[in-house]
Chain A
Amino acid sequence: MNRFLALVAALVFLWPPAAGAVTVFAAASLADAMNAAVQRYSGPGLPVRTSYAASSTLARQIENGAPADLFFSADEQWMDYLQQRALILPGSRVSLLGNELVLVAPADRARPVTLRKGFDVAGLLGDGRLAVGDPANVPAGLYAKQALTWLGVWNAAERRLVRAENVRVALAYVERGEAPLGIVYATDAALARGVRVVGRFPSESHEPIHYPLAIVAGHDRSDVRAFMAYLKSGEARKVFSSFGFSAS
Chain B
Amino acid sequence: MTKRKMFEQFLEENLDHAYRFAYTYTHDTALAEDVVGDSVIKALRALHTLRDESALKSWFFRIIINTAYTRLKQEQRTVSLEALSLPEEGQEDDYSDLSFFQMIEKLDPHYRTILVLRFFEDMKLEEIAYVLDENLSTVKTRLYKAIRLLKLEMEDQA
Is A bound to B?
no
B interface residues, Cβ below 8 angstroms from A: none
